[in-house]
Chains A and B, each alone.
Chain A
Amino acid sequence: MRNRLLPVVPALTLLAMLGPVLAGLYGTVLPAFGHLPAAGLTGPNLDAFRALLAWPGLSRSVMLSLTTGLGTTVIALTLVMLLVAGWSGTRAFRVLERLLSPLLSVPHAAAAFGLAFLIAPSGWIARLLSPGVTGWTNPPDWLIVQDPWGLTMIGGMVVKEMPFLLLMTLAALGQTDAARARQIAAALGYGRTTGWLKAVFPRVYAQIRLPVYVVLAYGMSVVDVALILGPNTPPPLSVQIVKWMGQPDFTARLLASSAALLQLALVMGALLAWRVGEMLVARLGLAWINGGHRGAQDAPVRAMALTGGAVAALSVLLGLGVLGVWSFAGYWGFPDALPDAFTLKTWMRQGDGVLAALRETALIAGVVTFAALILTVGCLEAEYRHRRTLTQRGLWLLYLPLLIPQTAFLPGLQGLLLTLGADVGRAPVMLAHLVFVLPYVFLSLADPFRAWDMRNGTVAAALGASPDGILWRVRLPMLLRPVLTAVAVGLSVSVGQYLPTLLIGGGRVATLTTEAVALSSGGDRRAIAVFGLMQTGAALVPFALALLVPALVWRNRKGLQHG
């Protein structure tokens, strides 16, 4: 049975990932060109695009999408590369790596709340320094959070994307023979950072190119972080699309669809521009490498990179800390460093709501991650048994749902689901989550799965085990740790999803993330803090378990403890 099913799993996986994206895009294109038969509108025409061009905020919205996306990617990538170049292999690097890795799972919205509570003119930093250092008895009227240039938003995105790029880079390093390249460069007299950039970076970049593209596309189209940290006069294009989707008339819906297509074009254009930039950098870099400069002045660059990494890690950690303080705060006026009193009132008051949202979040994340795991293992096992390896083109397909902006296809998908009479609620939301969870689960499990020593399988087969027996009784148990890590990644991706839950759930599916962002419009910080912390916990606990469980299960199998 399974042997007949197995070959179709890869096709099924592609369908689960790309089906909703393509259907959603189709559902976006039609209204964008004025075709909405249910509303009595038959296109095609360009009215919606004309209205979009006439919207006075368009140029600024578009600029913001571009600058926040490109800014986030350039800064996060530069910092991670310089950090790895200058520090990998050192003690400081291991400390920083340990600080940054768990931050990968902190949901974007929670990190953004924490950052806002930290750096606002009335935030925790200002409170700690006031009035002693600053002399402020009232906070200064400075536009830090929601600044018109989106700088704070870029900061928030950078601290969240750095852990992702760092982990991708570390995974790539193993396959690039970096240690020897570095040794040779050092023997030839190159400085630490310069040597790494000249000898290792080109090989590493080729491996992490797609994750970099994901960061770029995500930075250009993120909604929840932009709602919390981004400017609002006007907001970035993605937020404006969601606002239009929420307006009670058809013309706004057409406008949202045309803006969604513009968003898609912008992201594609930015990716293309980035590709051109890559070639330019490659050409300039080649000249730089051929120049033969040894880079004796590496020290300030190293110091800067370490500072940047530390600031990023600390700002998320301190942000979570201030969320913790707010969740227990009685009255807390400026410029007091701590609240007048600590109380359990907020937790008790929000308790029922938080638990209900946690149940919903856990149910969705659990089912979706389980489905993603089945499909992923099915794909990888089919690849192993039938020698169907994923080509470079296949890898692109895997990344496609992450490269197409959510705002471009989710509104269309919502419309189509309704037209089909598909019930709102959990099931469609799970389907939408799967689109984003599946690629991450696949990417985290694929390499360890393929790296498994096949001789184990041969030995098991020689002892009479069937292919299924080998998978269940030898391979998966040996891969317990990477499987659990992939599950943790999947859960955290699902926990953090805002837009798919909101749009596809029709507002009825209340997860920790949607509740937290909904509360953000009200300004009850104590409640926001409770939901933000629970959201973080829901994503972090599985990671802790992924570390702990293999250590317990394999406590008497030394060789498997680090595998």
Chain B
Amino acid sequence: MKSLALLAALALPLSAHAQTDPADWDAVIAAAKGQTVYWNAWGGSTTTNDFIAWIGDKVKTEYGVTLEHVKLTDTADAVTRVLAEKQAGTDTGGAIDMIWINGANFAAMKDAGLLYGPFAEQLPNWQYVDTAGKTVQTDFTVPVEGYESPWAMAQVVFVYDSETMEPLGSMQAILDWATAHPGRFTYPQPPDFLGTTFLKQVLVDTLDDPSVLQQPATDENYAEVTAPLWDYLDKLTPTLWREGRAYPATGTAMFPLIADGEIDLSTSFSPGAATAAIANNELPDTVRTFVLDKGTIGNASFVAIPYNSSHTEGAMVVANALLSPEAQARAQDPGILGYGTVLAIDKLDTDQKALFDALDLGIATLSPEQLGTVQAEPHPSWMTRIADDWTSRYGVAQ
């Protein structure tokens, strides 16, 4: 955290480059024409990659914007890149035009003044966004203030093989089940995004009052608040796949483990991913999903534009295209991507609504009602400390 403070101290006020005012959308479209947008986004999933390619085709035909997907293994790589450019004085003409981002990475970049904006709420398609019912204006409790634009909703679901087990209602039930079935459950290795999300899910579900997580962690309350988490993990770890001596790298890396019969239960941050994976031959068709009785953690995925982006206007055009009802309906189609929409369906006109009504959510996807309560993301300061502690407790000394 010291380094974040350092970054904040280094942050310079955003200088006004020759970037077009997002409020003047016609000028943005005019400037965007012919630009090539380098979108740095995680590239580990075929379905996501295909969706990004589709968006690329759409902005190419509609706006003359070329979209290049820079496939990352870790979003932090992109953050580092922008940082390195700032160090090197590359305040214009940076290599990255857009980043798929949220949580700690967003907080770090926003604090350090590494983001362009505000732009999100000036995008024409912002009018459809569900600002009342979905967490699109805060990201892990950090106010977004227009510095990133939402494009998908995620919520923790548990993915299980219905042939071998039944849905479970709480983290305690999962621990009991794992103890009775050793080696059949695992989660991605923190600091992987889904890995830390799983830890937060444990914390939220085992705490009597999780509201304390909405405030930054302090030296005084951290140990006490997280004690149930470590107690839980001490019991869970020996029952994990490979006894917790190895972990899958990411969420989608757990799908082949289910298909291979190595595990029966895993987690996902995308309610429709299991259905999409079944369609893609990556999961057996007996796989289903469940959520916990008290609800599960949910958040929005965002795109942000670095302060030194070379093609800011093109990036805004892509961000706006991602918010279009057409793209949102496509993203929600479990045969394609299976991400939740960030739009409010009641703000759409009849034709646009029809796109969503036509969707068949698929056999392994829960309906919005079944997904139940969405638990808020804890403040990012919890995640950073928990990930560090997890590494020293379970990540390096097995």
Contacts and interface: CB of A to CB of B under 8 A. Distances in A.
A95 B262 CA distance: 38
Given A122-B261, A527-B46, A146 B4 contact: no
Contact of B95 (A138, A249, A424, A523): A424
A161 interface: no
B182 A333 contact: no
B85 A418 contact: yes
A89 interface: no
Interface string B222-259: 00000000000000000001111111111011111101
Interface stretch (B20-28, B66-74, B212-220, B371-379): B66-74
Interface stretch (B151-159, B298-306, B355-363, B388-396): B388-396
Interface in A493-530: 506-508, 510, 515, 517-527
A518 B245 CA distance: 23
B133 interface: no
Contacts of A36: 87
Given A247-B76, A248-B80, A249-B108, A138 B262 contact: yes
Interface in A113-159: 121-122, 137-139, 141-143, 145-148
B241 A141 contact: yes
Interface stretch (B36-44, B337-345, B346-354): B36-44
A232 B247 contact: yes
Interface in A237-293: 245-253
Contact of A523 (B9, B242, B254, B394): B254
Interface in B252-272: 252-257, 259-262
Interface residues of B, number: 75
B83 A250 contact: yes
Given A233-B398, A247-B76, A39 B45 contact: no
A145 B183 CA distance: 15
A521 B249 contact: yes
Contacts, number: 196
A334 interface: yes
Contacts of A61: 396
B73 A521 contact: yes
Contacts of A419: 87-89
Given A39-B10, A522-B252, A137 B88 contact: no
B93 to A, nearest CB: 9
A217 interface: no
A520 B182 CA distance: 26
Interface residues of A, number: 69
Interface string A314-344: 0000000000000001111111000000010
B105 interface: yes
B81 interface: yes
Contacts of B81: 506-507
A366 interface: no
A231 B244 CA distance: 12
B17 interface: no
**Secondary structure call for the B interface:** helix
Contacts of A477: none
A521 B250 contact: yes
A38 interface: yes
Contacts of B84: 414-415, 418
A39 B6 CA distance: 9
Nearest to A249: B3
Interface in A320-372: 329-335, 343, 345, 349-350, 352-353
A519 B43 contact: yes
A421 interface: yes
A211 interface: no
Interface in B178-192: 182-183, 189
A509 to B, nearest CB: 9
B255 A523 contact: yes
A234 B190 CA distance: 12
B88 A522 contact: no
Interface string B83-122: 1111111100001000000001100110000000000000
Interface string A403-428: 00000000000110011010010000
Given A333-B259, A524-B252, A233 B87 contact: no
Nearest to B114: A248
B7 interface: yes
Given A253-B80, A508-B95, A122 B262 contact: yes
A523 B281 contact: no
Interface string A168-181: 00000000000000
A60 interface: yes
A56 interface: yes
Contacts of A7: none
Given A418-B88, A507-B81, A521-B253, A40 B6 contact: yes
Contact of B70 (A507, A520, A525): A507
Contacts of A142: 242
Contacts of A121: 262
A246 B250 contact: no
Contact of B7 (A60, A138, A141, A250): A250
Given A418-B90, A508-B38, A522-B45, A250 B6 contact: yes
Given A248-B104, A329-B281, A414-B84, 19 more contacts: A36-B87, A40-B9, A57-B395, A57-B397, A233-B247, A233-B396, A246-B76, A330-B281, A332-B281, A334-B259, A334-B260, A349-B50, A507-B71, A518-B71, A518-B72, A521-B73, A523-B44, A523-B254, A523-B255
Interface of A: 36, 38-40, 55-57, 60-61, 121-122, 137-139, 141-143, 145-148, 231-234, 245-253, 329-335, 343, 345, 349-350, 352-353, 414-415, 418-419, 421, 424, 506-508, 510, 515, 517-527
20 contacts: A40-B9, A122-B261, A143-B242, A143-B246, A145-B246, A232-B247, A233-B245, A233-B247, A250-B83, A331-B284, A332-B259, A343-B281, A349-B50, A414-B84, A415-B88, A419-B89, A424-B95, A510-B70, A518-B72, A522-B252
Instruction: Rank and list the top 8 A-B pairs by shortest CB-CB distance, nearest first.
Output: A522-B44, A57-B396, A38-B87, A523-B253, A141-B183, A122-B260, A248-B79, A249-B3
